[in-house]
Amino acid sequence: QKEVEQNSGPLSVPEGAIASLNCTYSDRVSQSFFWYRQYSGKSPELIMSIYSNGDKEDGRFTAQLNKASQYVSLLIRDSQPSDSATYLCAVNPHTDKLIFGTGTRLQVFP
């Protein structure tokens, strides 16, 4: 079992729709969780961090964390073509390094 698992996609959604990206992790002691966006050929850029169970909203983005189910998700409302990228889920299992999933490729079509 991989430590952080994501569906590789592509996830295709029409412009204006809600995109839902999911991630599961294996280490129960993980305390901090991050979503990064990565455009092709570029480096990861932080979208959201979340540390507590529940929802955290920032503009069009909402991160959801359920530690009991070892599940973290990212919702993107009013998706735009510029949101088309790979979304990386990263977990810090309290070991001072990030463990990344393989990423989900999101395609937003006009």
CB distance 102 to 86 below 8 Å:
no
Among 24, 25, 37, 44, binds other proteins (CB under 8 A): 44
Site string for other proteins, 60-99 (x = CB under 8 A): ----------------------------x-x-x-xxxxxx
CB 76 within 8 A of CB 94: no
Which member of 31, 53, 66, 80 binds other proteins (CB under 8 A)?
Answer: 31
Return the residue of 65, 100, 106, 108 that touches other proteins, per CB under 8 A. 100
Q: Does residue 1 touch other proteins according to CB under 8 A?
A: no
Site string for other proteins, 45-64 (x = CB under 8 A): xx--x-x-------------
- Choose the binding region for other proteins from 10-18, 39-47, 54-62, 68-76 (rule: CB under 8 A): 39-47
